[in-house]
Each structure stands twice: as C-alpha cells, then as structure tokens.
Structure 1
Amino acid sequence: MEYCVAIVFLTFLCVCLSQIENDDTGQPTNTNVVCSVCTCEQHYVDCSGKEIKKMFQEEEWADLNVTGILNLDFSGNPLNILYKVPDLPISKLNLSHCELGDIVDGAFGELEELESLDLSQNHLSTAAVSKKIFAAALLIPDGIPSPDAPKPVFSNMRNLSLAYNDIHALPKDIFMFMPDLRLLDLSGNPLSLIDQVTMVALSDIKLTDLSLASCELESLPEGLLRRQRRLKRLDLSNNRFTTIPSVLGEAVNLVALNFDRNSLTNLTEKTALLSLNKLQELRLCRQSRLQFIAAGALGGLESLTSLYITNNPRLNTIDPGFLTWEDEHENEQTPQLEELYLNNNNITSISSEFLDNWHQLKRADFSSNPYVCDCNNQWMVEVLVPLLFKMDLGGITANMICKKPSDVRGLSFEALQLTNRTLVCAEMEEINSVPAPDMAILLGVMIGIFVTFPIVLVLVILWKKGYFQKWRKVKADETDYEDDDAF
C-alpha cells in the first residue's frame, strides 16, 4: 500500500516539475506563466502591481488563449527599462507607474493593433521618447525605412499619454508613425516654454483632445493651434497664465476648455474667448486672484451650455451683462445655458440679467457665497429658489446663506422662501437702525431749521425794504435831540 502511494506521489511530482522551469527573475516560465502571475480573462490581462521587473518574453505568452483584441495592464511594476513588447494583438497597453527611465528602440514596433498607450507617471525624459521606440525593427537604427520595411505599424494609434514625466520638449518627428493620433496627454511635464521643435512635432498630428495641464506654462506661442482644426477639447488647467492666451482664437472648433487653477485677475471683454463661438463647456474655477468679470467678458459664446465659475475666493463682482453680446441686428443675446455653477465665490448677489431664460437650466449651484439679502435679491427668493426646487436641487438653497443685513444674517434662501420673507433695501435698514438719541438730535436739528427759516426770510425781506435803515435814522434823531437838551 505504501509502495502505491509513493508511486502516485512521484508521478504527480514529475508532472508538476515538467511544467515548471525558472528563469533568472525567479518567475515560472511554463506556457501558462503569464496567467499564473496575472489575472487572465478572454480579452483582458491584469498584471498590475505584481512586482514584475521584466516584461514577459514572447514564448511565455505562447499558450495564452487570445481569441481577439487584448487589453494589457502592466502598471505599477518596477520595470525601470522597457525592452521589446511581444508581438500580440494588444489594443490597450498600460505602462503607467512603472519607474521607466528608458525605453529601447523598437520596443513597440510589433504592436500593429495598438490603439491606446499609457506611459504616464514615469521618469521619461525628452531623449527617452524619440520616434525610434515606435519604429519597426527594419527602421532601426536611423529611423529611415529600408526597402523591405513594412508600412508604419501605428496606423491604429488613437490615444497616447506621456503625462507626469520629465519631458521638457517633444522630439522632432516623434509622431511620424501615428498619423491618426487623436488624444495626446502631456500634462504634468515641465514644458515651461513651448519651443519651435515642439510646435513642429504637434503640427504633424490632427488632435481632437490635448492636455497641457500642470506644465508650468505662462504663455502659448502664436501658431501653436493654427493647424489643429479638429481640436475639440483643450485642458490648460493648473498653469501660470495671468491672461487668456490670444492663441486660443486659432482653435475655432473648440468645444470644451478647462482653464481652472490659473492666475487671472480681471476678465474683460477683450479676450480670445470671444471668437470661440462653438464652445460648449468652459471652466474658470480656482482662480486665486480673480476679482472682477466685466460686461461682455464671455459674450459671443453662443453655443455655451455649461459654465463653471467656482471656488474663486476674491471674485466679488460679476457684471450682469457678462454673458451678453449683440447680434447683427444689434439685439442683445445670451447663451442658452443648461448648467451654471457660481458657487464658493465672494459674490453678494445673483443678477436676474445673467440669463434671458432661467427656466432652461437643468443643473446649477449658487451656494456658499456671502449674499446681501436686500430688496435687490428679492427675485432670488421668489424666482430662483423655486426654480432650483423644480430641478430637484433644493439642498443647494439651504447653503445659500445671508451674510447681510443683520436681521437676516445666517438665514438660508430656502428659509426666506418658505416664510415668504420680503427683503428690504439696505438704505432703509440703515435709517431704521439709527439709535434713539441720535434720532432725537436729528429731529431737533430738522425742527430748528424749519422754525428759523421763516424768521430769517422775514428779516431779509424787511432789510431789503429799508426798514432797518429807517429804524437807525429814527434812533439817530432821538440821540441828537437828547444832545440838544443837554445844552
């Protein structure tokens, strides 16, 4: 019996050993090695965060049951250097957070099906992302096609993220193998100043989405967007712009602009925004220095449907006509907004003139502002608050709090509306709040004026008629008579 058990055990051990070999990384190299380390599904392989130090070799993928397009997530592994990625039908490849500082030439050269590549959150420099890493083997080392070279393999590439690396400029011709690239994310790179070489590199592609967020930019060069006629979405958030860049006027087909976290001070009507008549979404949030938005500053944005102006701690004035412009017949127009967010600013009122038709709004937020609840804001109680309730946004009205005057300080607009409160003007409150002693003094002065004025008037009339001169003459004659009697 013991002999049979031993045979069974040895047979089982031999079978296991025949399927497992170890390479120099200590990882198993059997035909199922990938799925023994990673999570494998029909079209998805998740190898993220497995402490893998080297990309699996081509033979290690041999028995992987790939029946179609594959999505491969290799993020969060300490690769440091990326060698050749195996020839697989990979559509999406995630290599973010892999501590990559170098990529060998031709690393992606076999990925003919690749549509999306994420190289974000690594240590890649300008030199590390040259065009050669995307070139097929027959194009290396000089990057010039040989007579036997195939056509560029990245004809399917649509999305490329190089975000949060150490790229100061884009190398020339980096996108030469990606003629149909649509989305490019360069956010978080220390570009500072976009040079001529970078401009040329960008001009080779026709993007729909471009992110230059957190790139330490203070300006954009003229001509940067001149050839980007397909550009729909642009992210310039978290930079150092103090004005709206004039180059935005070149992006005539822009649909969404994110300009959050910059250093705007005053927003006037003379900006490049006025030419963006196809813009649908605009974000101007977290401007730490923004104080004033002038009349017509956002006029002409006839396609605008979503406007975000929030969390600007110094913004205390928004002109009632900041969205207004005149059409060809000199009629005033405002955009047909569906979403309007003006919360967390320093404004004291919401003007009824901001929009022509408030009932077209579907979403809005006006909370957390220091409102002055006087008669000028009565419309907010009677019209705006019921409108917010109708949009199922009643919770917002509870955070619309009165800062002044004193008798309603701390009350919400919801409470004002529910109690049918009629707001009084600040001028009336100031008069009514004068202390009683001061009021008595004021009343005494006014009575004195009304009493003394007729007396003074009578005296002036008598003086003009010579009454006082006659009186002085009579008095003088009496004095002379008394002198004669003395002698």
Structure 2
Amino acid sequence: MNLTKSAILAVSIFCIVVSQVNCDAKDETTTVKPEAPKEKIKLKDSKLCKKCNCDFDDFLLDCSEKVEEWLSAEEWEDLTNGDVVFKTIKLEHNNITTVPILPTYGVENLYLANNLIDSIAEGAFQNLTELTTLDLSHNKLTSKVLVPDVFKGPYTQNDFSALENLKTLNLGYNDLHTLDADLFEHIPHIEELVLCSNAFHVIDRLSETAISGLASLKTLDVSYMEIDDLPETILHGPRDLETLIAAGNLFHQLPKALNRATNLTSLVLNQNPIDSLVEDNVFPPLTKLTHLSMTYMTKLFKIGPGAFSELQSLTELILSDNELLNEIDEEALSKNVTGGEYLDYPPLEKLYLSNCNITTLPRKLLVRWDKLKALDLRYNPWNCDDSNDYLINVLIEQINRTTTVLAKNVQCATPTTLKDVELVRVANEHMMSSSTGSLIWIGLLVVLLIAVPTLAGAYVMKRRGCFGVFRRNDSGASSALYNRTSFNEDFHI
C-alpha cells in the first residue's frame, strides 16, 4: 500500500514538472504585446500653462506669485509627461512652506526664493539629477532643518549618490546661525555658495569645516552675517576661490584668511568698520586680484604706504563713498619688485574716489594716469592751489575728454575765492590758486608792477616835452621854454 502511494506521488510530481516545462516553453514562444507609450501632454493647452507663464522659447516655467501652495500631483503629472521639458522653473514669491520629494524631471534651475519654507523633506531633490542651480533664499530655513540628507542624490545599490551637477546654492536671507559639518557631502561640486544675511555672528568650527570642504568653490558670499572675522583656515580647502563677497560685516582688520586666497580675482569689503590701511593691516600678496571694492566704510580715514602694493594685477579700485577718507599716501600702490631704481605699479584702468573727503590727489600715486579709462573724483573738497597742479592742469582735462560726465561736480572747496567752482573752469580759465594767493592776484600784481612805472615814466617824459614832436601847432621856442620850465619843476619835486 505504501509503495502504491509513493508511486502515485512520484507520478504526480513528474506531471507537475512536465507541465511547468511545457508552460515555460509556451511562454518562450508567445509574443507579449508591449504597452503603447503614453501620449505626450501638450503643455501649451494644459491647465498649468493657463495658470503660470510658459515660455517655450526659453524653456521657462514661471509660477511666481501664481500658486498658493506646492504644485499639485496633477500639475506635476502634466510636467513629467509634457511635450516640453522646462529647464528653468520659478516658484518665487508664493506661500510655499515645505518642499516634498520631487518627481523625476529634467529641470536645471529651480528658484524657490521669497516663500515661507521652513521644512524640506530628506532627499527632496534626489530625482532632479540635472539640477545645477537651487535658490532657497528669503525663506525661514533654520540650521536644524538644513541637514545633509536634504541634498542627497538618487539611491544606488549601496547608498545615496551625490547630486553631481549642482553647482550653485543660494541659502541667503534665512534663519541660519551655523552649518552642519557634513552639509555638503551630497553636493561636493558646489562652485557658488551664498550665505548672505544670515545672522551667524561667528563662523564656528562646524561651519568652517563645511565651507572649507568645498574644493570646487569659486564664489563665496558671506556678506551681512554680523561676523567680525573669518577663520584663518576657512579658505584653505577652496583653493580655486575667485570671488569673495564679505560686505556689511564687522571687520576692523583685514581678515588673515586672505593669505590663503591665492587665486582670488575679485574682493568686496564694502561697509566694514576698518579705519585705516597702515603698517601690518595691509593687503597680503594677491597676485591675481583685479577687482577690489571698499565703499561706504564709515570709519576709513587713511590709506597708508604699501596698502595695495601686493595687488600688482589690480585693474579696478573702488573707494567711493568713504566720507572720512582724507589721506591716500602716494606710495599706497607702488612696489619695488625688481629692487632697482624704478617702482612698479598695478595696471589700473578704473579708479573711483567719489564722495570722499580728499583734498589733494598725489601726483605719484600712479605713473600712467593716461592709461585710466575711468577716474571718478566727484564730490570731494578739492584744494585748488599748486598742491593740485597736476590734477587741475592735466587730469581734469583728460577726464573731460574721455568721460565728460565724470568731470562735472569736481569742484574746489578752497581757497574761498574759488569755492564751488568746477575744476574744468579753473583749468580753462587759468584760475588756479598758488600757495600765496590766486593767479588772479598774481596777475594783477604783475600788471601793477609793470604799469605804474611805465605810466610814471610816460608822465615825466610828457612834462619834459618828449612828446612835443607830435604837436602840430606849437612853435619850437614855446616848446623849449615850456620844457625847461617843466624840467625845473620836476627837478624841485
């Protein structure tokens, strides 16, 4: 009996196996009809493009001030299945409060500025693998919300990969006070980072670690962060940094971190309370720096010798609107590079000194003034005496010839006889004052010195009759008698 049951069981298994083989063979020979691809949605006729501005020429979707919340599932469906891929999406000036995980889409530039965003889902951007620019400025992001996994990329077999293409990240105007040390681990190729107008007060060790780890960083904006210095090693990692914007902070001295910014080409230090550039508070060697801006420095009054000497590639120097600045040393720019007889100067093309308190422009500040394409000297209390002879006799004419608008409102403050007179007029009319008085008075004195003796001599000669030859009706005797009498009278006088 047991044998019979075993045989039956064996036969059953055999049938099942044979049946499965036959089924597999049938599957191999059966052609499965593929699913028809979804028909692309014509975005031009979609509800989304009726609500937002769809610029198909520039591949731009602009929903700024158009939506109350995040795009709906239906709207994202239209986008992901649309007949056009928008490379730029703007969702600015709305009331968006949170950013969820976004669907797969080929957007490159995503602008979310000027919303009320205070939370972002982890991996929110992981499906946007083409993303190059992300603007999260002017929101309510805190350091607690901004964690590294917010920026993690798509999931791979072992881990989340990086968002390789993200190059620009704007976090300005939020509520950040520090950065997670690993904040940028999923976006290591950031080239432009904006942190402006976050009240950090100090860049702590965690923030320094995060920033210094961005080896590809080229532009860093740390302006208006209420910091009084930069950590000395913060720029050690981003060795390719080209632009540093550190305006509106509390620097009293030039940051020592500049010593490591060897590839810097543009530096903005506007609105910092630095009072002078003298002695050891001068710029370190920045051999590639071409643009320097130091405006609205409310305490800056003196630029001493060697202040800019190590900036030998400088082409544009902006020192405007420093209302206390009244002294620029003639050796502020020069450097003896070769150790020889002659000094070297940067190849300045633009120099802006408007609205300061400068009275005299040193002739030796530059050698090739004629190379300047723009020289702005407006709204300064200029001395119109021989201390400014080069400015009045040469430079103002050059300014008027190359950029006429910059020659206006360049006026004398002293002497009082020339107060508010434009330098162009002083130069054209030769009105410049010397150290002992104006040329007008010198001219009058010269006239008096020449004219008075001449008139006196003419009068004497007339009394002597020397002009009698021109008289037609007088007789010779009468003339002789008159002349002798006149002579005697003059003699007794």
Structure 1 partner of 2:84: 66
Choose which of 203, 214, 218 in structure 2 pairs with 1:208. Answer: 218
Question: Which amino acid in structure 1 is aligned with residue 391 of structure 2?
Answer: M
- Aligned residue for 2:206, secondary structure, equals helix
The 2-side partners of 1:274 and 1:199 are apart by 21
Question: Which amino acid in structure 1 is aligned with residue 79 of structure 2?
Answer: W
Runs of 4+ in 1 over 4 A off after TM superposition: none
Question: Which amino acid in structure 2 is aligned with residue 260 of structure 1?
Answer: N
- Aligned residue for 1:40, secondary structure, equals strand
Choose which of 275, 286, 310 in structure 2 pairs with 1:276. Answer: 286
Structure 2 partner of 1:260: 270
Question: Which amino acid in structure 2 is aligned with residue 65 of structure 1?
Answer: D
Deviation for aligned residue 1:212: 0.2
- The answer to whether 1:48 aligns with 2:64 is yes
The 2-side partners of 1:31 and 1:378 are apart by 72
Structure 1 partner of 2:207: 198
Choose which of 52, 65, 69 in structure 2 pairs with 1:38. Answer: 52
Structure 1 partner of 2:355: 344
Query: For residues 249-328 of structure 1, what are the structure 2 equivalents within 5 Å?
Result: 249-271=259-281, 273-328=283-338
Q: 1:286 to 1:243 in 2, by over 3 A?
A: same
Choose which of 140, 157, 170 in structure 1 pairs with 2:179. Answer: 170
Question: Which amino acid in structure 2 is aligned with residue 352 of structure 1?
Answer: R
Deviation for aligned residue 1:240: 0.5
The 1-side partners of 2:296 and 2:351 are apart by 16
Question: Which amino acid in structure 2 is aligned with residue 389 of structure 1?
Answer: N
> Deviation string for 1:243-274 (max 9, x for gaps)?
11111111011100000000011111423623
Structure 1 partner of 2:166: 157
Q: Is the 8 A contact 1:297 1:322 kept in 2?
A: yes
Structure 1 partner of 2:105: 88
The 2-side partners of 1:30 and 1:342 are apart by 53
The 2-side partners of 1:176 and 1:367 are apart by 49
- Aligned residue for 2:244, secondary structure, equals strand
User: Greater CA radius of gyration, 1 or 2?
Assistant: 2
Structure 2 partner of 1:375: 386
- The answer to whether 1:111 aligns with 2:128 is yes
Structure 1 partner of 2:193: 184
> Deviation string for 1:103-123 (max 9, x for gaps)?
111111110000000000001
Q: Is the 8 A contact 2:258 2:284 kept in 1?
A: no
Question: Which amino acid in structure 1 is aligned with residue 82 of structure 2?
Answer: L
Aligned length: 393
Question: Which amino acid in structure 1 is aligned with residue 71 of structure 2?
Answer: M
Structure 2 partner of 1:436: none
Question: Which amino acid in structure 2 is aligned with residue 119 of structure 1?
Answer: L
The 1-side partners of 2:80 and 2:276 are apart by 62
Stretches of structure 2 lacking an aligned partner (at least 5 in a row): 1-42, 443-493
Q: 1:409 to 1:118 in 2, by over 3 A?
A: same
Question: Which amino acid in structure 2 is aligned with residue 120 of structure 1?
Answer: S
Structure 2 partner of 1:128: 145
- Aligned residue for 1:117, secondary structure, equals strand
- Aligned residue for 2:108, secondary structure, equals strand
**Identical residues among aligned pairs (%):** 28
The 2-side partners of 1:196 and 1:379 are apart by 52
Question: Which amino acid in structure 2 is aligned with residue 36 of structure 1?
Answer: K
Question: Which amino acid in structure 2 is aligned with residue 193 of structure 1?
Answer: V
Deviation for aligned residue 1:77: 0.8
Q: Is the 8 A contact 1:248 1:272 kept in 2?
A: no
Q: Is the 8 A contact 2:244 2:266 kept in 1?
A: yes
Choose which of 209, 224, 241 in structure 2 pairs with 1:231. Answer: 241
Question: Which amino acid in structure 2 is aligned with residue 189 of structure 1?
Answer: N
Question: Which amino acid in structure 1 is aligned with residue 193 of structure 2?
Answer: L
Deviation for aligned residue 1:60: 3.9
Choose which of 77, 89, 107 in structure 1 pairs with 2:94. Answer: 77
Deviation for aligned residue 1:33: 2.8
- The answer to whether 1:403 aligns with 2:413 is yes
Structure 2 partner of 1:99: 116
The 2-side partners of 1:76 and 1:380 are apart by 50
Q: Is the 8 A contact 2:152 2:160 kept in 1?
A: no
The 2-side partners of 1:309 and 1:266 are apart by 13
Q: Is the 8 A contact 2:359 2:383 kept in 1?
A: yes
The 2-side partners of 1:333 and 1:210 are apart by 31
Q: 1:108 to 1:195 in 2, by over 3 A?
A: same
Structure 2 partner of 1:450: none
Structure 1 partner of 2:457: none
Q: 1:115 to 1:301 in 2, by over 3 A?
A: same
- The answer to whether 1:247 aligns with 2:257 is yes
The 2-side partners of 1:378 and 1:291 are apart by 23
The 2-side partners of 1:313 and 1:106 are apart by 50
> Deviation string for 1:117-139 (max 9, x for gaps)?
0000001001221111112464x
Q: 1:30 to 1:411 in 2, by over 3 A?
A: closer
- Aligned residue for 2:366, secondary structure, equals coil
Deviation for aligned residue 1:86: 2.6
Stretches of structure 1 lacking an aligned partner (at least 5 in a row): 1-28, 139-145, 434-487
Q: Is the 8 A contact 1:95 1:118 kept in 2?
A: yes
TM-score under structure 2 normalisation?
0.76
Choose which of 339, 350, 356 in structure 2 pairs with 1:329. Answer: 339
